[in-house]
Structure 1
Amino acid sequence: MTDATPTINDAIRAFRAGDLAAAERACRAILAADARDGGALHVLALIAASAGHAADAMDLLDRAAEAAPTDPSVFNSRGSLYYQMERYGEAEAAFRRVLALREDLPEAHGNLGNALKAQGRAAEAEACYRRALELRPDAPEMHNFLGGALRDLGRLEEAEGSFRAALERAPDYPDARYGLAEVLATLGRPEAAAEAFRAVIDAVPAFIQARVGLAHALHSLDRADEAIAAIDEARALAPDHPLVAFTRRLIHSNAVPGWHLPMINDTERNDAYRRAVERAVGPDSLVLEIGTGSGIVAMMAARAGARRVVTCEVNPVLARVAAETVARNGYADRITVVPKLSTRLEMGTDLPEKADVFVSELINIGMLAPRMLSVLQHARTHLVKPGGAIIPRASTVYAMLVDAPELARINPVGTIDGFDMSAMDVFRSPGYAQIDLGADVHTPLSDPFTALEFDFTRNMPEEGRRQIAVPVTAAGTCHGVAFWFDLFMDEEVVYHSASRARTNHWKQAIAFFDPPLAVQPGDTVRVVARYDANQITFDRAE
């Protein structure tokens, strides 16, 4: 830069070169001559955003927009900042302003699609990505974004095609390779998924989600030793990563699925499914069930008069025993047990036509099981008739702050009788523990509050969060959050996992804070309730 008055191009070049100080000096000099120079205000906003000063950046962008109301780049930057701040509705409005000024900007269509997708509006996002591709057909990132939207819509084969299209144009694009791997895993093609996850890891060794995906794929192939080795490699790279810890415990705890017998003896659960099935099933009904387990719900549907029941179970041992149970009870002529993932069912072969009634039982003690939302979305898209009955239809998760010293003592496992027993912690249930609020020693430290709500009849984002200010009602040590759920089977039948009955096999769940927190009545604890593709979690807000 010379002694001459700097230009906006000087500021932009300095910013792109990473010389933020020089870029800021240039902008200040320009603004000294013209305090309403939109370009200089815009670059200063980008400098503030890169330094993590979001509020200052937004103020500068507002001033830039006022000074240059027809400059689409200003509104694009505003939308990008809103998106980073997770203010997706405002991001959407900003990107729509960009397109009102310049409809032919493929990046703006892609950005708008991302904002819509983050709000759970995947169908609208799909249209944005397709428009971006009309404008720039060879943009690999748009094929990748489109693949993500199609995956959210349950159109997994189309999503696979989009991810492959991105990779044809950019073979070293790890996000697209990872998206492809995730789709292959959900489609029940674990060998191909494992190969794709390995390709991501080869390109980006620190891609932890790919290492976790590889462990899941190997686990689903019953290659337990390889799955454990894969997740331990991830743990060596990221020992504190919550997804690694969750998956490591999942692989180990699933080695012995001991919950099947308590589940089929859960009278309240059975009663809720039976009542809902009897209300939904007619003599002409084709019923699809995901998650056969013992086969008891499939037999309820047959006993209620269903014309045909198709039930799928990926665990081959369970599938064989369920088929034997069905035959023992005289329903082999009407119930077919298919030993497959639901995403691998073939229309016309495994399922004669789309189902009239769709029943799923993928729930665990924390309500949300791994990939449950995407599996349900695929079934609604491909396997169930429009307007078909869906059981259960929805769920609401409730929670409260608790003092639970005995459970906290072993979560995580540490020193016992003077011995370091922490290696045993790998066998603990991942993410959260079970609590029996009817039997386990605990003190409620707040009133129950609504944490999260799920509608299984429609597409939902695979990730979501809610921050809640929880008033403390009693003094104690807040070890974490106990939570439970209502399953809305249909408009009238509701199952309450809050039940204190001894036969309630789910009981309730507890997520522990690290460290715990001393509280008094009148305090407020800010809790963040989150869900992702694998689980529900609770943390204290920073």
Structure 2
Amino acid sequence: MPNTSARPKHGRRARRRRRVDPARDQLVSSSLESAQQCLLNQDYGTAFVHYLLVLNLAPVFKDFAQDSFRFTLFKWAEELDSVGRIQELFDCYEQALEIFPADEVILNSMGEHLFRMGFRDEAAGHFHKALKLKPDFPEARENFYRVANWLVERWHFLMLNDHGRNRKYQQAIQKAVQNGCKTILDIGTGTGILGMCAKKAGAAEVYACELSKTMYELACEVVAANGMEGSIKILHKKSLDMEVPTDIPNRVSLVVTETVDAGLFGEGIIESLIHAWHHLLLPPKRGQGKFGEDSATGRVIPAGAAVFCMAVECLEIRRHHRLCAADVGGLSMAAAGELRSPVSCSPEQDDSTEPYTTERLSRLPGGYRALTEPFTALTIDFNNVQELEGLTSREVREMRLPVTQEGELDALAVWFQLHLDEENSLSTGPQEDTCWEQAIYPVHSAMSFVLKPLDELIVEVSCRDAYLRLSCVAVLRDGHKIYLDKRMDFPNSFKPIPNPNPEVELCSALACLQTSQSESEDFCMLECSEMALLNNQDYHQSFCTALTKLISELKVKNPNRNTVGMASFAADSSLLYVLDVSEGFSLLSLIAARQGQVKAYSSVEKSKQQNVLRRLARSNDVSEQHLEFWLNHTEDEQGMLQRPSREKLWSAIILDCVETCGLVRQKLMEKASLARFLLEEGGRIFPEKIVVYGMLVESDTLLLESAVQGREPTLGFNIAPFINQFTVPVHVFLDFSTLECRHLSDALELFVLDLMDVNKNYIEREVKVQATCGGRVTAVPFWYQIQLDPDVSVSTLSRNSHWKQAAAVLQDPLQVQAGDWIRLAVRLHKSTISISAHLDNAPVQMD
């Protein structure tokens, strides 16, 4: 045994000296020098390799080289991204994180690349890690908020706040368990609430599956927090991939699911249930109805559904799905061909179109008018596997709907009644207070079509590809069929309804004549938001007015621009150059080119959309030499903001400043800063200024859509603290005109973004607003006045705006009395607006 009392010779252990390796040190020194030289030469790939070598061989240089290494990584990643070398891009980030595993900036940047590539779960993980390392890192926080909307969709909050829906599902599950269903599978478990209901009701075995990684992890946390971790098995798997006994030991007696969307079948419930009946569920009792309750057989909750439909007139739907104007910003649209949204209620649908979109009919601006009574389009029994399997092969069913009210046919609105069992059912109808929206099947007809009482609307119903598909094909009037699709040629029976606007009728006729040669040439799909923009007359007329004023002013400064001819045009000697960098389809470049002596550059990328602009240019007497598609000649988006030619500067640069959802576009101020340096003397950025307005409101609706509310557990389960981690501070795609709310103040100016004068901008601003009545301040909705010049502006709050609004939501409402003063601190960080409110020095954070 060693002498434990013996003292060491030295009170402190001698520090080991690093062995000197001259060759290694020389390699590190030369590689560091090469990295810095390559960085100066913008050879980012080689610089990155040299930095990797240096930092692996000599970690002592980490602090010294960290900033340069980050910069090199980001630049090299941009190059790899631009040429599609995605795997190499992520390899570089993995190598970087091996050296700097706790670098929140690199983690956040890798998350941004992952998000753009569609890897949302992985992106969220990187943003979350970055926030853990640096909780006040604004870029990571904003990115996490953005990705949270994808990972945990807002309807999860609405669903958990829908107490009626929760109770009915709970009652149906309790009854099934009491009647002998002891083994349960919850398909698409989400937060795990239905599986926990089954366990609480006394089920012996409960299994659940969830495809989303984020929701799977959330469900695991929720189940563990409620003491059921060992009694509910949750699989991160699609139910279609589950097998017995690999995933569950035996077939179960009950499947519970709510994998239904506004159109009932859109989340794949038919395919999931067919697979479940064949592989996961006990077989049904022979002759068993949809509500059969034999414990030795399998069954499904919900047991079945009935789908209802009615025809509606709605201007809001119309302007998002088809062209409503013959003239836009002074341009005749006759030669545009057929423009419509990718949502098509047509018998000739293809893979490029969706059969329906979703809306909450009760909140549509301007409302809607029912043109027919609701009718039953389809019924389905989820406990009848033969009926499920035969759904897609059902014959197309033709239905005749008596028209009850005169109006323009814009869409078919669809909802359903979900039968959980014989006692409990849920309706998603437009008059119900429910978490579901309605499915909208827009009608794309060749002309505005007015239905009249005594007409019969002929609708075809089918379930191709397990989607419910409805198509308005014709109207029966006075014994004659009037077909609604111009591509269906029935000359003997077609009797067009007179259009109250002769100009529109003439333009439609001209468009048909000019473009009937080739259907593929004259048909072009635009996104719903692009269609709404095209129909925004005020927007285009305002730009037309502002551009005309600017160009006239610049021509006065240079009289030669009024007299140059086409010979000079070829030499580009006296032209005005206008650049439109709007997102998506835009007519602004063409509106500019019509001014004369203007060469306009468009950022429209899609070839079919470019062809639309070319046809419109020819029909509106704009020479092709006056219009150029800028992105055809640039490698990446950043290349747009550069000189039109070596000797020239831009006369005007049109920036797309506000996203359709109601937020300022990312990196707007950075783009504006670059654009200012590319303007000729007297040139202008459009818009030159954006004024942000807001208002204090009390709105329970916004709270319900933003987080699980109340202190009471949901059906007795502790869920709110976990899902509310994904609460975002700003609610987007808001329609303020139909929002259920009380106004607690007048509108006031919150912030100003000056795109032309950098010296007038600020990062933070504090404003005071007085409450006009008492209540709870739950949110601050905000919108924008977009000033093109001092005299011309457009508002994102106007009735025909293609923009929605946004709102900063308080999770802890602020109680105020009439006359109270509230201080709002408004902050802009990289184009992201955040707001916090204070009353009597008590802050309530909204960012």
- Alpha-carbon distance between aligned partners in 1 of 2:100 and 2:750, rounded to the nearest angstrom: 36
Query: Is 1:525 the equivalent of 2:815?
Result: no
The answer for the alignment partner of 1:266 in structure 2 is 536
SS in 1 for 2:730: coil
Q: Which runs of 5+ in 1 are unaligned?
A: 1-146, 148-155
Is the 2:729–2:808 contact (alpha carbons within 8 Å) kept by the matching residues of 1?
A: no
The answer for the alignment partner of 2:813 in structure 1 is 516
The answer for the alignment partner of 1:372 in structure 2 is 668
Q: 1:307 to 1:461 in 2, by over 3 A?
A: closer
Q: Which runs of 5+ in 2 are unaligned?
A: 1-38, 55-60, 152-341, 343-526, 553-560, 562-574, 619-623
State, as a whole percentage, how many aligned pairs show the same letter. 18
- Alpha-carbon distance between aligned partners in 2 of 1:303 and 1:444, rounded to the nearest angstrom: 44
Displacement of 1:537 in angstroms is 1.2
Q: 1:497 to 1:292 in 2, by over 3 A?
A: closer
The answer for the alignment partner of 2:390 in structure 1 is none
Q: 1:197 to 1:280 in 2, by over 3 A?
A: farther
SS in 2 for 1:294: coil
Query: Is 1:324 the equivalent of 2:621?
Result: no
Q: 1:374 to 1:347 in 2, by over 3 A?
A: closer
- Alpha-carbon distance between aligned partners in 2 of 1:304 and 1:427, rounded to the nearest angstrom: 50
The answer for the alignment partner of 1:445 in structure 2 is 744
Report matched runs for 1:292-331 at 5 Å. 292-312=583-603, 318-330=605-617
SS in 2 for 1:440: coil
Q: Which moved more, 1:360-369 or 1:250-259?
A: 250-259
Report matched runs for 1:76-115 at 5 Å. none
The answer for the alignment partner of 1:229 in structure 2 is 122
The answer for the alignment partner of 1:337 in structure 2 is 629
Displacement of 1:525 in angstroms is 2.6
Q: Residue 490 of structure 1 is aligned with which of 785, 789, 792?
A: 789
- Alpha-carbon distance between aligned partners in 1 of 2:592 and 2:680, rounded to the nearest angstrom: 17
Is the 1:446–1:473 contact (alpha carbons within 8 Å) kept by the matching residues of 2?
A: yes
- Alpha-carbon distance between aligned partners in 2 of 1:404 and 1:252, rounded to the nearest angstrom: 22
- Alpha-carbon distance between aligned partners in 2 of 1:413 and 1:335, rounded to the nearest angstrom: 52
Displacement of 1:219 in angstroms is 4.5
Structure 1 vs Structure 2 CA RMSD? 4.5
- Alpha-carbon distance between aligned partners in 1 of 2:532 and 2:788, rounded to the nearest angstrom: 21
Query: Is 1:410 the equivalent of 2:672?
Result: no
- Alpha-carbon distance between aligned partners in 2 of 1:390 and 1:475, rounded to the nearest angstrom: 42
- Alpha-carbon distance between aligned partners in 2 of 1:477 and 1:302, rounded to the nearest angstrom: 51
- Alpha-carbon distance between aligned partners in 2 of 1:479 and 1:258, rounded to the nearest angstrom: 30
Displacement of 1:417 in angstroms is 9.6
Displacement of 1:269 in angstroms is 2.1
The answer for the alignment partner of 1:238 in structure 2 is 131
SS in 2 for 1:410: helix
| One-letter amino acid of the structure 2 residue matched with residue 535 of structure 1 | T
Q: 1:346 to 1:494 in 2, by over 3 A?
A: closer
* CA-to-aligned-CA distance 1:31-76 (integer Å, 9 cap, x gap): xxxxxxxxxxxxxxxxxxxxxxxxxxxxxxxxxxxxxxxxxxxxxx
Displacement of 1:179 in angstroms is 5.4
The answer for the alignment partner of 1:400 in structure 2 is 695
Query: Is 1:287 the equivalent of 2:578?
Result: yes
- Alpha-carbon distance between aligned partners in 2 of 1:184 and 1:507, rounded to the nearest angstrom: 37
Is the 2:694–2:783 contact (alpha carbons within 8 Å) kept by the matching residues of 1?
A: yes
Is the 1:292–1:322 contact (alpha carbons within 8 Å) kept by the matching residues of 2?
A: no
Query: Is 1:174 the equivalent of 2:66?
Result: yes
* CA-to-aligned-CA distance 1:434-467 (integer Å, 9 cap, x gap): 3333221221212222211111013369971123
* CA-to-aligned-CA distance 1:160-199 (integer Å, 9 cap, x gap): 9xx99xx999775434544566678899966799788667
SS in 2 for 1:330: helix
Report matched runs for 1:47-62 at 5 Å. none
More helix per residue: 1 or 2?
Answer: 1
Q: Residue 682 of structure 2 is aligned with which of 362, 387, 395?
A: 387
Displacement of 1:350 in angstroms is 7.7
| One-letter amino acid of the structure 2 residue matched with residue 267 of structure 1 | Q
Q: Residue 473 of structure 1 is aligned with which of 772, 787, 790?
A: 772
**TM-score scaled by length of structure 1:** 0.57
Displacement of 1:493 in angstroms is 0.6
Aligned length: 375
Displacement of 1:330 in angstroms is 2.8
| One-letter amino acid of the structure 2 residue matched with residue 215 of structure 1 | G
Is the 1:530–1:536 contact (alpha carbons within 8 Å) kept by the matching residues of 2?
A: yes
More strand per residue: 1 or 2?
Answer: 2
Report matched runs for 1:139-288 at 5 Å. 172-178=64-70, 201-220=97-116, 223-225=117-119, 228-236=121-129, 238=131, 243-244=139-140, 246-248=142-144, 250=146, 259-281=529-551, 284-288=575-579
- Alpha-carbon distance between aligned partners in 1 of 2:821 and 2:643, rounded to the nearest angstrom: 57
Q: 1:259 to 1:215 in 2, by over 3 A?
A: farther
| One-letter amino acid of the structure 2 residue matched with residue 371 of structure 1 | K
Q: 1:385 to 1:188 in 2, by over 3 A?
A: farther
Is the 1:481–1:510 contact (alpha carbons within 8 Å) kept by the matching residues of 2?
A: yes
| One-letter amino acid of the structure 2 residue matched with residue 485 of structure 1 | Y
The answer for the alignment partner of 1:20 in structure 2 is none
Displacement of 1:540 in angstroms is 2.8
